Amino acid sequence: MLNTLTNALCVSLQMYGRYTQELGVYAKEEAARLRESGQRRSVSDRSRTLDLLEYDKGRCAKCRTQKWMYGGLDSNVFLQYLAWVTYPVVLITFSAGFTQILAPQAVGSGIPEMKTILRGVVLKEYLTFKTFVAKVIGLTCALGSGMPLGKEGPFVHIASLCAALLSKFMSLFGGIYENESRNIEMLAAACAVGVGCCFAAPIGGVLFSIEVTSTFFAVRNYWRGFFAATFSAFIFRVLAVWNRDEETITALFKTRFRLDFPFDLQELPAFAVIGIASGFGGALFVYLNRLIVQFIRKQKAINRFLMKKRLLYPALVTLLVSTLTFPPGFGQFMAGKLTQKESLVTLLDNRTWAKQGIAEEFDYIGQSQAWKHPQVNVFVTLVLFIVMKFWMSALATTIPVPCGAFMPVFVIGAAFGRLVGESMAAWFPDGIHTDGTIYPIVPGGYAVVGAAALSGAVTHTVSTAVIVFELTGQISHILPVMIAVILANAVAQSLQPSLYDSIIRIKKLPYLPELGWGHHEYYNIRVEDIMVRDVRYITLNCTYRDLHNVLLTGHLKTLALVESAESMILLGSIERAQLQSLLSLQLGRPRRLEYIKERATAEKKRLSVVSNPSSDDGSHRASQEVRFQVRGHCRSRIDRMESHPFHLCLMGCNLRKIAPQTTERIAEWEEMQLDEQVNFNNCKIDPAPFQLVERTSLHKTHTIFSLLGLDHAYVTSIGRLIGVVSLKELRKAIEGSVTVKGVKVRPPLASFRDSGTSSSENEATELHKLWDRHKSMSLPREHTPSESDEKSQ
Amino acid sequence: MLNTLTNALCVSLQMYGRYTQELGVYAKEEAARLRESGQRRSVSDRSRTLDLLEYDKGRCAKCRTQKWMYGGLDSNVFLQYLAWVTYPVVLITFSAGFTQILAPQAVGSGIPEMKTILRGVVLKEYLTFKTFVAKVIGLTCALGSGMPLGKEGPFVHIASLCAALLSKFMSLFGGIYENESRNIEMLAAACAVGVGCCFAAPIGGVLFSIEVTSTFFAVRNYWRGFFAATFSAFIFRVLAVWNRDEETITALFKTRFRLDFPFDLQELPAFAVIGIASGFGGALFVYLNRLIVQFIRKQKAINRFLMKKRLLYPALVTLLVSTLTFPPGFGQFMAGKLTQKESLVTLLDNRTWAKQGIAEEFDYIGQSQAWKHPQVNVFVTLVLFIVMKFWMSALATTIPVPCGAFMPVFVIGAAFGRLVGESMAAWFPDGIHTDGTIYPIVPGGYAVVGAAALSGAVTHTVSTAVIVFELTGQISHILPVMIAVILANAVAQSLQPSLYDSIIRIKKLPYLPELGWGHHEYYNIRVEDIMVRDVRYITLNCTYRDLHNVLLTGHLKTLALVESAESMILLGSIERAQLQSLLSLQLGRPRRLEYIKERATAEKKRLSVVSNPSSDDGSHRASQEVRFQVRGHCRSRIDRMESHPFHLCLMGCNLRKIAPQTTERIAEWEEMQLDEQVNFNNCKIDPAPFQLVERTSLHKTHTIFSLLGLDHAYVTSIGRLIGVVSLKELRKAIEGSVTVKGVKVRPPLASFRDSGTSSSENEATELHKLWDRHKSMSLPREHTPSESDEKSQ
């Protein structure tokens, strides 16, 4: 194991060395090389890769600091600036370019995509080996640039990629890995691993991944997540020990707050204030992030320009951010020279920076010095840091590189907490507690609370509380953290969607919005109000022509199969692909060849004396070859645009090279074939598609859809198909009645109904109809009551 | 709020004062009083009650110690013994008696019942006000006795009781609380509150309650659980501050391990050993507990005796346990004088007891002295403590009082961990770490690991890890704890069910066993192998006689409604009660009276000259009154035994007092009525009962049943009802193929099938049949292809 580790390390270091090469060229070379090598490489162990990634990042950050600090550029500010700016611009540009060329799916956090995939939607390109490579290399460079970018989202994605590739690899050996629900379970565990080894927080990782990716969670997966996350966190931290960075396994950002009196009860209002303010801040962050994306999309001039030079936007943003953080410039007022990790370490420090309001008294050691400015108060530095980092992070996370937003938000939250804490410390220099002992206020504790609250508000999770405990190795502030996180969540959830849901909407991924709280109307809206009544269906005794027509008009993936157009009794559903193959089977090559052979034999018999049989055979072979070619062509086109029915294209193609007489005959034959009744024998039918009743409430429908990961459900009334509801309708209905501004698109019938006293009446009427129908319509096959008596006795 | 708090406190103290009264008398009085007062009392705030409970307990324990310590009984060992033994025996006996009289449902932990209720099964008596009172008072006494009993299970039950009563109370005001799914959500949050305020562990509480009670968890409830649990934990700890017990809010069992070097990497194998051993220990505990219950049930002689004197068993067990822990007696070798809380505090101490193998060197302060015995080594004390407490706890939790097993197991685990830790400390007196600084081994850390591992093994949960962090206020041992808990779970889960599942089985509650790991056969067993093929159904055009017959023969709660006995197309399901009311409506009093009136009018016309009209009227009125009385009688009987059809009883009753002629006529009339066709108009039908396909795998069926909390599902084949699967069949199938010893009851057809290559064939054949059926049978109402063409175009 150690051997492979060192090997992998060497590779990554070698890779690192190449960064100084011409990057554009290298990116293209690398991309081409990888594209060719394809899936050849074996999938390495999941957690190990992630740890290496983490490891790389640390090294990059170190090199970066070294490069600048000991670069001998102290004398010349301009050279210093050039070095400070060039480095991140080159790295980000390379990362953006590499990702763009190799796998554009690797851009961004990956959590929204994972949420969609775990919801049951297939997004296949997001779990390929190419995406894996692009994500790993792109992320390494992006993090090394020192921009305010996070890594927890990409880690989740990378872990899921590992799991998916591992499943694919293992399924070669057969067995349990072939089962698809097993793969979903693997992915759920992988998400936990991703967060777990990012923060060395196994418990928080599991919980965070559950909150972020799931709507309903199978408790039996819980154990698996813990197992995987514990080992990933363990190996991640063990590497630090082996590397002699640490003496033993401890927390990543260890704090040393006092244990006997962590905080006073009277400080709780201050913590609550942090929570509420973080809630507003979190909502603002999500809003700002969405605004930037939408602004850039809308401005057509900018957009066209940026599209042409795809790498310009990342470069420009990086240039702006790194210019503003340049330490001798504006950066001196916002601790610009600290990396993200260093900022966090200093913010969580247990010493007070501003004793009695005078910042100078504190003995700033090491990196904490960055926060001290000779002219400016430490409060101003903190406020500037928060404000600048806030918009910078919101802007930086829109760059098309693999990156998350958790860590930047976490740091901003910590800075905000620290600000409140320092203010409290300045306000109550001797602490609040009045009985005897003096317990000064610990601003570091406020920083922990702020970090958890803001990151919780942005992601709409409560488990950030657990993450901070595991990250700092101290749990003494549990109550303040919990209270702040809950308040932050309450505020943020009522203002904005979570960052991940926001990205899902921006990217237009298929999703199901969560039901908000206290919307009682969900109980009053019924499925019948939102369903599509004009359902595409096929009957059991339909012809191929019907099939063809249905395939031509609709775009649904599955079609309902009913007994007959009158009874409309739902028998099952058939996938579009199945129907297409039925059609192509009916009109396909083998049957066509057979027909042609038959015709040829008949012709031969007729013309056996007149013509030369060998020439006929030759032309037959030629036409056959041509047809084969166009067939291949058609097939790929069909695969691309599935809605196109198969045989039309075939007909069109055939018209070119074949004699008009033959064409006519074939067309005739095709018409004949189309009038035959469909034989469903070789067709896979789902005999129990999910059914709802027309009176099911929207609330219940939502629950069922998210529980079972449904894509659509048929609405039946006592066996008869009367409508269909898909994710789209459901989404519209929920958002329609949720929208705060604008017109409420409430279903037209919803208001006519009250709490449901008339429900039994309606049902009775409905049944009455059926009963009457049954009596009148199906009389021919009705039997005498005595007969049914015998049966049921 | 303070006011109500103090009021409640006064009440509880008053109650406490009464303990010294004649307890048997008091129990009866109290029970009678409460029974009369019924539901009159208003439901107090959930968390407050729980906190008070906790508070009471602390006070009881204190009083108990005081009573004995300062009782002036130092001189006489016999009197000391009497005082030591009488106190718990009286308390436990009172608790058992009180619970038995008021609400036997309050006995035991309550978590198994909550799991069943959250699964969707209605266990109504478990959530009444009576149970609440019995549980609170019973638990207070049981805990005060000092027996090795826990409180986390009862707390969960009490919190759920509060939630249920609160929901009931709130539903008076209407609104959202009327919705039943809302109540389930309330209960889920309440479970979190129960654990949360028991250990002042909000996060661990939420997770533990999820693991213990749910199979599938709605993430949207998660937030609610955290909210409730945080406030309950907060108020619980705030009370301690207000009570001047603590200076500020801290952990319940605060530890003070060193933070810089909590453990060495090389100690991890020792932690792993603790985990594995705890796994075996946990399984043994569950097995032992079940064995004791089954032994007592089986021994008929013992059983009969104990049944007669219900309070004898608790008294005997308490006598045995308290005799063995008597400090001057055997108790001196097992720290018998310490309460559960004191033992835990000493076990988690950060000092080492056995330095260099010689216990004497350690300066035992305060309660730690109990572990020191002049003649006996501290290791022997620990081993004795573990062994004795192990069987005592397993025995004590079988006493019929409100009690849990978590805390005793937790303490045993801590003792085991301490034992390993002390051994390690004795083995490596200078610690394992070799570079420079000496870091001695911290046996307290081992105790934390042991406690989490053993309690995790017994309950099959991972979240005990989080609970110990919150309980001790330190998270530094996170990796050892996680590793040990995971290993313990792995071992225990493969050997025994969890304690709660074991109790569910013992109590024969309706449940669905979890699917174990690695049982691939679940994917091969199909629903068709386990379903009941002989389904009770009613047809749309059946007569009341059919209805009557179906009701007579079956005992199912719901019946399937099919179109006709030939087509067997499933239209919906009807509840038994609905059918019964249909029957009683048809043969009921109003229609009967109408008939009699009609008859009377006819008679009158006929006999208007001959007889005296007033006498006829009088007899009519008399018979009417009689009939009313017997009707009322019958009704209550029916309510009790639902399976009994209504009108038979009516007929029997009527035979007594009414003239034979009238009876005959009525019987005739009833026969007539029975032959009429059923009118389903006033009947509530569930038009979309859950349907499965016959080829659904057992694994998927299990998932769907536990996701949706189903009780039964119909198996349909392309619309036709072919079977039904209920919880019972599913349970049998899972347990049949799981059973390790004994014959495997694998479904007969399962082995004939392989991974499913023939599945499409089968389906095709099935459809083929239907298609043929459709063609041949329903010819009368078939239409020409052209007609269907027009429709679908």
The per-residue pLDDT for range B425-445, each reduced to its tens digit, is 888 877 776 677 777 888 889
- The whole-number average pLDDT for the span B555-567 is 79
Q: Within 10 Å of residue B610's Cβ, how many Cβ atoms?
A: 6
pLDDT at A466 over 80: yes
Q: Write out chain A residues lying below 8 Å of B540, CB-based.
A: 770-771, 774
Contact A206, A226 (CB under 8 A): yes
Closest approach of B688 to chain A, Cα-based (Å): 6
Q: Do B233 and A479 touch (CB under 8 A)?
A: yes
Mean pLDDT across chain B, nearest whole number? 72
- The whole-number average pLDDT for the span A684-712 is 75
pLDDT of residue B509: 80
pLDDT of residue A176: 56
Domain with CATH 3.10.580.10 in chain B: 527-582+682-739
Q: Which of A469-478, B297-306, B621-630 has the lowest mean pLDDT?
A: B621-630
Best to test chain B binding among A173, A185, A788 (most B CBs inside 10 Å) = A788
Closest approach of A284 to chain B, Cα-based (Å): 21
pLDDT at A109 over 60: yes
pLDDT of residue B755: 34
Q: By CA distance, what is A264's nearest residue in B?
A: B248
List A558's β-bridge partners, or say none: A575
Going from the C-alpha of A509 to that of each of A112, A122, A151, the distances in angstroms are: 8, 11, 22
Q: Which residue has the higher pLDDT, B510 or B493?
A: B493
Domain with CATH 1.10.3080.10 in chain B: 71-243, 265-310+332-353+369-507
**ipTM confidence score:** 0.72
Q: Which residue has the higher pLDDT, A517 or A37?
A: A517
β-pairing, B712-717 with B691-692?
Answer: parallel
Mean pLDDT across chain A, nearest whole number? 72
Q: What percent of chain B has pLDDT over 70?
A: 69
Q: By CA distance, what is A569's nearest residue in B?
A: B719
Q: Do A680 and B247 touch (CB under 8 A)?
A: no
Closest approach of B428 to chain A, Cα-based (Å): 17
Q: Do B211 and A219 touch (CB under 8 A)?
A: yes
Q: Which residue has the higher pLDDT, B122 or B740?
A: B122
Cβ neighbours of residue A30 under 8 Å, at least 6 residues apart? Answer: A98, A102, A137
pLDDT of residue B347: 85
**Range among A38-47, A141-150, B352-361 with highest mean pLDDT value:** A141-150
Find the helix packing angle between B478-495 and B464-472, rounded to 10°.
140
pLDDT of residue A64: 52
pLDDT of residue A458: 94
Q: Write out chain A residues lying below 8 Å of B462, CB-based.
A: 222-223, 226
Burial class (CB in 10 A: 0-12, 13-18, 19+), A718: buried
The CATH number, out of the four listed (3.40.920.10, 1.10.1050.10, 1.10.1780.10, 1.10.3080.10), of the domain defined by the range B71-243: 1.10.3080.10
Q: Map B10-49 to HEC letters.
A: HHHHHHHHHCCCCHHHHHHHHHHHHHHHCCCCCCCCHHHH
Residue written as tokens 């008929």? B300
Q: Which residue has the higher pLDDT, A310 or B475?
A: B475
Token pair belonging to A630: 């166009």
Q: By CA distance, what is A759's nearest residue in B?
A: B684
- The whole-number average pLDDT for the span A282-293 is 93
Q: Write out chain A residues lying below 8 Å of B565, CB-based.
A: 783, 787-788, 791-792
Residues B36, B129: Cα–Cα separation, whole Å: 12
Contact B188, B225 (CB under 8 A): yes
Contact B570, B714 (CB under 8 A): yes
Q: Do B764 and A682 touch (CB under 8 A)?
A: yes
Give tens-digit pLDDT for B537-557: 888 888 888 888 888 777 777
pLDDT of residue B52: 41
Q: Is B243 helix (H, G, I), strand (E, B) or coil?
A: coil
Q: By CA distance, what is B755's nearest residue in A?
A: A175
Cβ neighbours of residue B171 under 8 Å, at least 6 residues apart? Answer: B177, B178
Q: Do A563 and B227 touch (CB under 8 A)?
A: no
Q: What percent of chain A has pLDDT over 90?
A: 13
pLDDT at A639 over 60: no
Q: Write out chain B residues lying below 8 Å of A542, CB-based.
A: 785, 788, 792
Q: Write out chain A residues lying below 8 Å of B764, CB-based.
A: 680-683
Instruction: Give the nearest partner residue to A691 out of B688, B771, B785, using CB atoms.
Output: B688
Q: Which of A21-25, B406-410, B582-586, B698-702 has the lowest mean pLDDT?
A: A21-25
Give tens-digit pLDDT for B466-476: 999 888 888 88
Q: Write out chain B residues lying below 8 Å of A787, CB-based.
A: 565
**Residue A43 dihedral angles phi and psi, to the nearest 5°:** -80, 125
pLDDT of residue A687: 66
Find the helix packing angle between A544-553 and A660-674, rounded to 10°.
90
pLDDT band at B750 (very low <50, low <70, confident <90, very high): very low
Token pair belonging to B568: 């067997």
Q: By CA distance, what is A561's nearest residue in B?
A: B718
Contact A699, A522 (CB under 8 A): yes
- The whole-number average pLDDT for the span A560-581 is 81
pLDDT of residue B458: 94
Q: Which of A679-683, A761-765, B360-364 has the lowest mean pLDDT?
A: A761-765
Q: Do A478 and B210 touch (CB under 8 A)?
A: no
pLDDT of residue B71: 53
pLDDT at B263 over 70: yes
Q: Which of B377-381, B384-388, B498-502 has the lowest mean pLDDT?
A: B377-381
- The whole-number average pLDDT for the span A373-383 is 82
Q: Which of A269-273, A516-520, A721-725, B411-415 has the lowest mean pLDDT?
A: A516-520
Q: Which of A40-49, A218-227, B80-89 has the lowest mean pLDDT?
A: A40-49
Contact B718, A571 (CB under 8 A): yes
pLDDT of residue B609: 53
Closest approach of A200 to chain B, Cα-based (Å): 10
Contact A149, A407 (CB under 8 A): yes
pLDDT of residue A408: 92
Residues A338, A332: Cα–Cα separation, whole Å: 10
Give tens-digit pLDDT for B136-150: 999 999 888 888 888
Fold of domain A265-310+332-353+369-507: Clc chloride channel (1.10.3080)
- The whole-number average pLDDT for the span B23-52 is 44
Quick one: which of B256, B250, B218 has its CA closest to B237?
B250
Instruction: Give the nearest partner residue to B259 out of A203, A473, A540, using CB atoms.
Output: A473
Residues B390, B399: Cα–Cα separation, whole Å: 15
Give tens-digit pLDDT for A389-404: 999 999 998 888 999 8
Model-wide pTM > 0.95: no
> How far, in whole angstroms, is CA B36 from its chain's centroid?
28
pLDDT band at A716 (very low <50, low <70, confident <90, very high): confident
Number of H helices, E strands in chain A: 31, 8
Q: In chain B, what is the greatest distance between 2 CA atoms, to the nearest angstrom?
A: 125
pLDDT of residue A55: 41
Q: Which residue has the higher pLDDT, A660 or A781?
A: A660
Q: Which of A642-651, B99-108, B263-272 has the lowest mean pLDDT?
A: A642-651
Quick one: which of A180, A751, A90 has its CA closest to B756?
A180
pLDDT at B27 over 70: no
Contact A697, A515 (CB under 8 A): no
pLDDT of residue A740: 34
Give tens-digit pLDDT for B341-371: 888 888 888 777 766 444 444 455 566 667 7
pLDDT at B203 over 80: yes
Q: Write out chain A residues lying below 8 Å of B482, CB-based.
A: 202-203, 226, 230
pLDDT at A7 over 50: no
pLDDT at A373 over 50: yes
CATH of domain B527-582+682-739: 3.10.580.10
pLDDT of residue B426: 84
Instruction: Give the nearest partner residue to A540 out of B470, B569, B771, using CB atoms.
Output: B771
Give tens-digit pLDDT for A615-633: 444 444 444 443 333 333 3
Residues A57, A59: Cα–Cα separation, whole Å: 5
Cβ neighbours of residue A62 under 8 Å, at least 6 residues apart? Answer: none
Find the helix packing angle between B499-506 and B443-459, rounded to 10°.
30
Number of H helices, E strands in chain B: 32, 8
pLDDT band at A768 (very low <50, low <70, confident <90, very high): very low
Q: Which of A69-78, B182-191, B373-382 has the lowest mean pLDDT?
A: A69-78
Residue written as tokens 């976490």? A410
Q: Which of B226-230, B406-410, B673-677, B751-755 has the lowest mean pLDDT?
A: B751-755
Q: Which residue has the higher pLDDT, A660 or A235?
A: A235
Closest approach of A553 to chain B, Cα-based (Å): 9
pLDDT of residue A177: 54
pLDDT at B280 over 90: yes
Closest approach of A152 to chain B, Cα-based (Å): 20
Beta-sheet strand order (sheet of A558-562)? A537-539, A558-562, A570-575, A685-686
Cβ neighbours of residue B248 under 8 Å, at least 6 residues apart? Answer: A261, A262, A263, A264, A265, A433, B241
Going from the C-alpha of B733 to that of each of A189, B697, B737, the distances in angstroms are: 28, 12, 6
